[in-house]
């Protein structure tokens, strides 16, 4: 497996920081470690130390020792007991299958700690970096259930999802970057899934001409948030709006999106048609502030005409229709697409279709996410919409897809 996965270590922590231990091949081409890849045997000194309260009455002190500019060992002193030191080269060889140790001109490290409560057990997470923040090192987890450490290698930007007992993190290997999902159960951390966010995924057809749109160079330029708490305002008009070729042909005006999103959607349709799903069409995309106000006021007035008082009528509309200035449609980055004769019919019909299953599995490849998932109503503030897809670019769409988050949750995590 290309990614280094988290391993449960039964008694004490095994830990290593990565740089470049020497390595060579024998005559058969098999890897063999150098005869003496460890740092020279000058006296060790404490690079830095950290004491953290894991839980009430339980403290852990961690010391990082180094010699000759390299990290040589780690000392762990749980709850005032005698320190136990762990040799870096021995630990890395057992966990990674090779000897690695860190060498740095600057022996100081950033230090990250967090208490996380998974399924009733208080776990303790630690991560360290080089001081410049440019190179992630390793992460490990302390379980108060068994007083053991779980070791994970090269975990970048960990996100702790306590509600679902999961840890999300980036993993970089060479020129490729992955998003890994780890499940946590009774203090054990295990890799659940891993998805590349930089490698080009497989497609039904040759979409190389659309790659610049599906995976735009401006990676973060399409993360605009519009919801009930974040307004775009009356004057917001996106640039570079273009027509969408796959607008439903029933007399409605041709829908439009921002060009990058529209071209990515074109690629999605080419592949979706090639996969045999040809009955899905776009029913709505960009809407101006005025357009949204017309739609919103129409629903509100209809509810009032049906006899509901104003507060009830307004709440009914707001459950599935954005107030003017807060609609995603005003960004020009989303569209409604389905195979049903109307949105009302699509509520029950479209989620049961093979085309929807295909979109669920594949929309991220083209840079799109399902914007209002069924299990995120309390967070998005809107009813489940199986037809509403939002362009964010493949890098972020892949992460959102694997992590199972809605846009609000994802933006909150990466902005941390």
Instruction: Give domain limits for the chain.
Output: 7-196, 208-415
Find, among 104, 111, 151, 114, the residue nearest to 128 by Cα. Answer: 111
Rounded Cα distance, 169 and 191, in Å: 11
| Alpha-carbon separation of residue 166 from 157, 210, 314, 391 (angstroms) | 14, 34, 37, 26
pLDDT in the model for residue 45? 83
Sorted by sequence, the CB contacts under 8 Å of residue 365 that are 6+ apart come out as: 201, 203, 214, 271, 394, 397, 398
Helix (H, G, I), strand (E, B) or coil at 397: helix
Q: Does domain 208-415 have CATH number 3.30.1380.10?
A: yes
Quote the CA–CA distance of 160 and 124 in Å, as a whole number. Answer: 11
How far apart CA 214 and CA 274 sit, in angstroms, is 18
pLDDT at 101: 54
Told to judge if 204 belongs to the known catalytic residues of this protein, a careful annotator would answer: no
Length of the chain: 416
Supply the pTM of this predicted model.
Answer: 0.74
Where are any strands of DSSP class E within 40-135? 45-55, 58-67, 70-78, 84-87, 109-118, 121-130
Cα–Cα dist 12/60, whole Å: 12
Q: Which pair of tokens denotes residue 314?
A: 């307004």
> Which stretch of DSSP H or E encloses residue 370?
strand 368-372
φ, ψ of residue 404 to 5 degrees: the values are 70, 30
d(CA 206, CA 181) in angstroms, rounded, equals 30
The backbone region for 404, taken as left when phi is positive above 0, alpha when psi lies in -120 to 50, beta otherwise, is left
The catalytic residue among 259, 385, 408, 409 is: 385
Type and span of the H or E element at 40 = none
Say if residues 222 and 331 touch (Cβ distance below 8 Å).
no
Q: What pLDDT does 74 receive? A: 74
Q: Which residues pair with 49 in a beta bridge?
A: 63
Q: Say how far apart CA 151 and CA 7 lie, in whole Å.
A: 6
Per the CB < 8 A criterion, the answer to whether 128 and 110 are in contact is: yes
Residue 393 CA to residue 251 CA, distance in Å, equals 31
Task: Compute the distance between CA of residue 330 and CA of residue 315 in angstroms, rounded to an integer.
Answer: 21
Q: Contact 191/5 with Cβ under 8 angstroms?
A: yes
Q: Provide the pLDDT for residue 136.
A: 45
pLDDT of residue 64: 75
Which pLDDT belongs to residue 68? 66
Q: How far apart are CA 288 and CA 235, in angstroms?
A: 9
Question: Cα separation of 247 and 285, whole Å?
Answer: 9
Q: State residue 190's pLDDT score.
A: 75
pLDDT by 10s per residue, the chain, length 416 = 333 333 222 222 233 322 223 333 333 333 333 344 444 456 888 877 777 666 666 677 777 777 765 667 777 787 768 887 777 665 555 544 555 555 554 545 555 566 666 666 656 665 555 544 444 445 555 555 555 555 454 456 677 787 788 888 887 777 888 888 888 776 667 788 888 999 999 999 999 999 999 999 999 999 999 999 999 999 999 999 999 999 999 999 999 999 999 999 999 999 999 999 999 999 999 999 999 999 999 999 999 999 999 999 999 999 888 999 999 999 999 999 999 999 889 999 999 999 999 999 999 999 999 999 999 999 999 999 999 999 999 999 999 999 999 999 999 888 86
**C-alpha span between 406 and 123 (Å, rounded):** 26
Backbone φ and ψ for 321, nearest 5 degrees, come out as -135, 130
- Contacts for 305 with CB less than 8 Å, ≥ 6 apart: none
CA atoms within 13 A on the CB side of 289: 10
Helix 259-274 crosses helix 354-362 at what angle (to 10 degrees)? Answer: 130
pLDDT of residue 172: 73
Give the C-alpha separation, 179 to 350, whole Å.
Answer: 30
Task: Please state, in angstroms and rounded to a whole number, the distance separating the CA atoms of residues 352 and 346.
Answer: 10
Can you list the positions of beta strands (E) in 132-252?
136-143, 148-152, 156-161, 166-173, 176-185, 188-196, 241-243
């Amino acid at each position: 497996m290309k990614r280094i996965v988290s391993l449960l270590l039964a008694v004490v922590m095994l830990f290593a920081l990565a740089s470049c231990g020497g390595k060579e091949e024998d005559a058969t081409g098999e890897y063999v470690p150098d005869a003496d890849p460890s740092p020279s045997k000058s006296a060790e000194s404490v690079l830095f130390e950290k004491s953290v309260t894991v839980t009430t009455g339980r403290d852990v002190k961690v010391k990082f020792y180094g010699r000759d500019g390299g990290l040589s060992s780690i000392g762990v002193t749980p709850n005032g007991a005698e320190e136990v030191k762990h040799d870096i080269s021995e630990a890395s060889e057992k966990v990674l299958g090779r000897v690695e140790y860190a060498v740095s001109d600057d022996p100081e490290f950033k230090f990250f700690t967090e208490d996380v409560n998974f399924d009733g057990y208080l776990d303790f997470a630690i991560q360290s970096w080089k001081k410049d923040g440019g190179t992630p090192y390793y992460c490990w987890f302390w379980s108060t259930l068994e007083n053991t450490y779980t070791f994970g290698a090269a975990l970048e930007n960990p996100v702790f999802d306590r509600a679902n007992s999961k840890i999300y993190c980036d993993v970089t290997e060479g020129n490729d970057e992955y998003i890994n999902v780890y499940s946590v159960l009774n203090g054990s951390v295990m890799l659940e899934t891993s998805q590349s966010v930089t490698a080009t995924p497989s497609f039904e057809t040759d979409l190389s001409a659309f790659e610049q749109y599906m995976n735009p160079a401006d990676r973060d330029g399409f993360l605009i948030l519009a919801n009930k708490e974040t307004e775009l305002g009356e004057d917001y008009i996106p640039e570079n709006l273009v027509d969408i070729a796959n607008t439903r042909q029933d007399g409605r005006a041709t829908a439009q999106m921002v060009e990058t999103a529209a071209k990515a959607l074109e690629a999605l349709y080419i592949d979706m048609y090639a996969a045999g799903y040809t009955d899905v069409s776009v029913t709505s995309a960009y809407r101006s502030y005025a357009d949204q106000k017309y739609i919103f006021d129409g629903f509100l007035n209809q509810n009032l005409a049906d006899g509901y008082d104003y507060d009830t009528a307004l709440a009914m509309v707001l459950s599935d229709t954005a107030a003017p200035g807060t609609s995603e449609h005003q960004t020009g980055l989303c569209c409604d697409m389905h195979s049903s004769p109307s949105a009302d019919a699509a509520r029950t019909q479209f989620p049961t279709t093979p085309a929807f299953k295909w979109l669920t599995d594949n929309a991220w490849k083209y840079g799109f996410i399902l914007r209002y998932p069924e299990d995120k109503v309390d967070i998005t503030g809107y009813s489940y919409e199986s037809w509403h897809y939002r362009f964010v670019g493949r890098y972020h769409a892949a992460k959102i897809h694997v992590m199972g988050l809605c846009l609000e949750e994802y933006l909150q995590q990466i902005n941390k």
